[in-house]
Amino acid sequence: MSFLNRADESGAAPGCVWAWDVSGGISGKSPTATVSRIATVVTTSSVYTYSSSFDDLWASGSPTSELGNGRSSSTGSISTIPGGHVTSTSKGSTSHSSTVSPSASTGSGSGGGGNSSSTGSGGFQVSAPHYVVYADQSNYGYPSASQAGKWNRVVLAFWLTQGAWDNAKVWESLSASARQSQIEAYHAKNIAIMVSAFGDTEQPTTSGEDPVQLADKLAAWVLQYGLDGVDVDYEDAPAMAEGKGEAWLIAFTKELRNKLPKPHIITHAPQAPWFMQNKQAYPGGGMIAVDKAVGGLIDFYNVQFYNQGAAYGDCTGLITNSGNSFPATSIMELNKAGIPLDKIVLGKPVSASEAGTGYMDPKTLAGCVTQGKAKGWNGGVMTWQWTADATNFGNTVCIL
């Protein structure tokens, strides 16, 4: 999931070098495109905010930022990894340090303090349509059951290989009783509460993580903190381009389901182009190969139909014909390739500021949803991410 416009001061990894990927994932954008944001700039010894524009941050030479993610250091070279959002060009620090108390910025909870006791094993039976909202920025918080509106799957971001981060850390920091109270309130409204793993700041295959051991670690965290399931936001573009990502994802998913049997929920959040049946682009077969191997273990796909240049910019591209850039990756074309319609969730950013490209105004997107519904699609809608706009956005587009 794209961190492009995260103004995240809740934690940062010093010593990382970040770059704007302009080689296909965000086409037509220069790394010096002027977009004003407040960015958290991190050095190995300090953290401070810097109000500027993308070109200022890139041109200043000291220190530069990943433009909203809160992870930065000195100027790095532009990444050329295809099909991604914003990608790291250096592993940087191997540990994350919180710079703001997580419990200070929870948007939905009470309780605070202490995580020594378990909430419970979790799990929740769900069916389509799935209305999925990610909640990453701890300054936005995450929706309570009463705030969620039509969103019926709340996904806390992120669990990283080093542990919980951002709103996942907020959840971890609550008392067991506070977590249990929130879980009960969610379930009373048929809302599942989940955690998303990885995101675009991690490349677990490329960095050599063992899929089985990592799945065990993630599952143990989910069970300890009582969540209903896991969203696998795997964005290791180099591994997919080299044909290594599929086997890693398959092994990871198998072990995750082994440790989190039904009714725990397991979802994946691939970028739509990863479903292309193009061995030159994805020699390992892409997400179609993953689905054929472990699709029965995956409840649904939160497909990212954004940050792909002009692709998926209208109803035709989303629903029936994705066009030449990323052929056969619209909803109905994915169904033709074997993905059930009730497992395809249409992902779009909640506002233009939450993605590089691909935003559609809610009224237009609702028209696309209606067209898909007429063709038998009922998977649902996903948005990145929970902000003040998310309730109205959901009320307009969650109409299956």
Q: Is the pTM for the entire model greater than 0.85? A: no
In this prediction, residue 119 carries a pLDDT of: 54
pLDDT by 10-residue block (mean), the chain, 400 residues: 39 31 32 30 28 30 30 28 27 26 34 41 92 95 97 99 97 98 98 98 98 99 99 99 99 99 99 98 98 99 98 99 98 99 99 98 99 99 97 98
Which CATH code for domain 116-397? 3.20.20.80
In this prediction, residue 122 carries a pLDDT of: 82
Are 362 and 397 in contact by the 8 Å Cβ rule? The answer is yes
Look up residue 359 and give its amino acid. Y
3-state secondary structure of 132: strand
Note the Cα 371 to chain centre separation in Å.
Answer: 26
What is the C-alpha separation between 220 and 222, in angstroms, rounded?
5
CA angle 315, 316, 317 (to 5 degrees): 90
Q: Please compute, for residue 157, the number of CA atoms within 13 A of its CA located in the half-sphere on the CB side.
A: 29
3-state secondary structure of 197: strand
Q: Where are the domains of the chain?
A: 11-91, 116-397
Q: What b/e sequence results for 187-204 when a residue is b if at least 16 CB atoms lie within 10 Å of its CB, and e otherwise?
A: eeeebbbbbbbbbbbbbb
Q: What b/e sequence results for 356-376 when a residue is b if at least 16 CB atoms lie within 10 Å of its CB, and e otherwise?
A: bbbbbebeebbebbebbeeee
Are 378 and 128 in contact by the 8 Å Cβ rule? The answer is yes
Distances (CA, A) of 202 to 139, 159, 196: 22, 10, 12
For residue 52 the two structure tokens come to: 């500027």
For the beta carbon of residue 249, count every other beta carbon within 10 angstroms: 27
What is the C-alpha separation between 387 and 248, in angstroms, rounded?
33
What is the C-alpha separation between 153 and 194, in angstroms, rounded?
7
Helices and strands: H and E segment counts in the chain: 11, 17
- Of the candidates 147, 144, 159, 153, the one whose C-alpha atom is nearest the C-alpha of residue 124 is 153
